[in-house]
Amino acid sequence: MVMLCSVVATIPAQAKAHAGMAGPEAGAAAPGPSIPEPVAAEPAEPIAPTEAPIETPTAPPVEPPADATPPTAPIRADMLDAPAAATPASTPATTPSVVSAPSPAADEELTPNEAITKAYSPKFRPNANPGKLNVAGRLMFANAGAKDAGGGRFGGIAVDVGQSWNRFGYAITATAYGGRFALQETGTREINALLGVGPTVGLGRMALLGRGFLDLRVGYDFYYGVVNERDGDTVVRPQSNDAVAISPAKNLLPHGPRVRLDLGLVALDDSRRYWHGIGVSMGYQALVDSFRGDMPVTHMLTLGLSYWMG
């Protein structure tokens, strides 16, 4: 207790001693308020520009609603300019691609006939180009005429048997005509039959088109002409008159060039080994001379039906 009382008495004494030491200094500095003198403003020094870029304020991000789909990542400009993969220093980073413009023919729409021709051309003319049997038959009517001759008409048949390739064909042609052709305007000699044979060349399978065929063939024929001499004005002997008869005369061996054009439709059946067609035939036959006997230059125009196989 005695010690506690002495400590309490000491604290106020020390406080008074400190207050007495600070008192005279505070009193000297406390006289009335003073007015500061104006100071002349110095010119402001120019502010040196800084190289740091001025950052523009950006708006705070807007949070999307909870049910919204996440946005896709934005595409930066550096991503478009960057090469897809690192390339060696010897080669350029990017190589311009060359795009060829489509040709007008590729975009042009084909007609039905052109489409069929394009589809069947590899079947008609395969790349292997095999030689195949080729047969062409014709049933014909012929109108014949010659200078200084009476003229006449024939009916007959002609058959070509040979071999064909993609763009060439050959054949042996056999022809038989029957009819009447007067060798003279006022004479009694006439040709009643012509039997011939000769070589022929043609277009081969190039004659096959989209839905049909168009075959041009040329050849040379050698004929055996059966010549009869008329007795009077009648060629055929009537059964009731034995006085009228047909006497044989000197037969002829005419020959000459021939050209025929066959055209028609083709059966488009892939299951068959050969292509078959049927159509019409037009032609011209000339008889320029005869190896036996005398015969004027004769011209024959033919027309009939045709059959094509190859």
Task: Please state whether the predicted TM-score (pTM) of the whole model is above 0.75.
Answer: no
* pLDDT on residue 185: 76
Options 1.10.1240.10, 3.60.15.10, 2.40.160.20, 3.40.50.300; CATH for 139-309 is 2.40.160.20
Look-up of token digits 């065929």 = 213
Mean pLDDT of 40-52: 54
Residue range 86-125, pLDDT digits in tens: 445 554 545 555 555 555 454 467 787 777 777 777 888 8
Establish how many alpha carbons lie within 13 A of residue 129's alpha carbon, considering only the half-sphere containing its beta carbon: 8
Q: Are 149 and 171 in contact (CB under 8 A)?
A: no
User: Rounded to a whole number, what is the distance in angstroms from the first to the last CA of the chain?
Assistant: 149
Per-residue pLDDT band at 142 (split at 50, 70, 90): very high
* pLDDT on residue 297: 93
Mean pLDDT of 160-188: 91
* pLDDT on residue 20: 47
Residue range 239-284, pLDDT digits in tens: 555 554 555 578 999 999 999 999 999 987 767 788 899 999 999 9
Nearest alpha-carbon partner for 181 in 194, 192, 166 = 192
Compute the distance between CA of residue 200 and CA of residue 137 in angstroms, rounded to an integer: 13
Per-residue pLDDT band at 18 (split at 50, 70, 90): very low
Sign of CA dihedral 73, 77, 78, 80: positive
